[in-house]
Amino acid sequence: MKDLFDIENNERTEAAELRAELEQANYEYYVLNSPRLSDRDFDFKLKRLQALEDRYPDLKTADSPTQKVGSDLSKKASGFEQVAHRYPMLSLANSYSREEIEDWVRHLPEEVEIVAELKYDGLSISLHYEHGRLARALTRGDGVRGDDVLRNILTIRSIPTYVQGLPDYYEIRGEVLLPWEAFERLNKEREEQEEPLFANPRNAASGTLKLLNASEVARRGLTCRLYHVLGEGLQGQTHAERLEQAKEWGFPVSEHMQVCQSVDEVMSFIERWDTERKNLPVATDGIVLKVNSIAVQQELGFTAKTPRWAIAYKFPAEK
């Protein structure tokens, strides 16, 4: 009997430690832009915490890292207004193998189309258009509220500020990125000025988007790829059609997507892009798989943190 108590005590302690570690890792990643834990180790620890919380459900509180997305919200006095998202801004579940993808597909209705696209490694942004005009640009923040970084987003010339023919309210989301070339130029300058270097383009993009000086932001040369359309009264019945329409409206939509009918097709897309991505001007860290039909997406819905209709596959980290 004593043994059982011991096991429970140890596991509860382990859960508390994991929780603290994951909270610290989220802070380093989203606020400091300087992560120390790899994505893979983060996911491994998160899975273990999930298993412990399943065993001791009282530990699964709404503020656990298993239940909420990491927050990039700036301090209240940061100079950016915090605004509520119209639709929560969630994260994606990660997978690392064919087996995990097959497991995800098994939980989908039979014979659904899956769109495979690149997973860009920057920071997510949500652009709000009202009566055709770009009104706000929100970071993910804590998923419920984000920082309005519109003045910095206006430095990205490929993002249209007015589009004729948009629904009265239109929202399009994507990733803000610093191209490899701009990242290397920036780090070279910082080295010359003996300033700390950015570890990768994602951290550099994230640090840049939160700067208060928009002309410095413009000088650094951010770019973006958009991959998710939201709003009411949209015409396209599939994700691919909605992105195609956005492209016709002039939005810088994510390229190189493919509608797949089978896991085999998904796997060959993954294999091809794990090599070809090295020729892209921006950083990618995986592939995102999404159910193409919007009706099926709505049927599947969300967990507390992630949609059930999409999953990320992470490329093995490069040495």
What are the residue numbers of the active site?
Answer: 119
Site map for ligand IVH, 243-282, x if CB under 6 A? -----------x----------------------------
- Minimum distance between the CB of residue 104 and ligand IVH, rounded to whole angstroms? 14
Taking the least distance from each CB to ligand IVH, the nearer of 35 and 307 is 307
Query: For ligand IVH, how many residues bind (rule: CB under 6 A)?
Result: 15
Taking the least distance from each CB to ligand IVH, the nearer of 124 and 292 is 124
Among 73, 208, 307, 313, binds ligand IVH (CB under 6 A): 307
- Minimum distance between the CB of residue 120 and ligand IVH, rounded to whole angstroms? 4
DSSP string across the chain:
-HHHHHHHHHHHHHHHHHHHHHHHHHHHHHTSS---S-HHHHHHHHHHHHHHHHHSGGG--TTSTTTSPPP-PPPGGGSSEEEE-SS------EE-SHHHHHHHHHTSPTT--EEEEEEE-SEEEEEEEETTEEEEEEE-TTSSEEEE-HHHHTT-TTS-SB-TT--SEEEEEEEEE--HHHHHHHHHHHHHTTPPPPSSHHHHHHHHHT-S-HHHHHHHT-EEEEEEEE-SS-S-SBHHHHHHHHHHTT--B----EEESSHHHHHHHHHHHHHHGGGSSS-EEEEEEEESBHHHHHHH-B-SSSBTTEEEEEPPPP-
Q: Is 201 in the site for ligand IVH (CB under 6 A)?
A: no
Among 30, 120, 170, 251, binds ligand IVH (CB under 6 A): 120
Q: Which stretch binds ligand IVH (CB under 6 A): 27-35, 112-120, 179-187, 200-208?
A: 112-120
- Minimum distance between the CB of residue 92 and ligand IVH, rounded to whole angstroms? 4
Residues 123-182 that bind ligand IVH (CB under 6 A): 124, 175
Taking the least distance from each CB to ligand IVH, the nearer of 90 and 209 is 90
Q: Where does this chain bind ligand IVH (CB under 6 A)?
A: 90-92, 117, 119-120, 124, 175, 227-228, 254, 288, 307, 310, 312
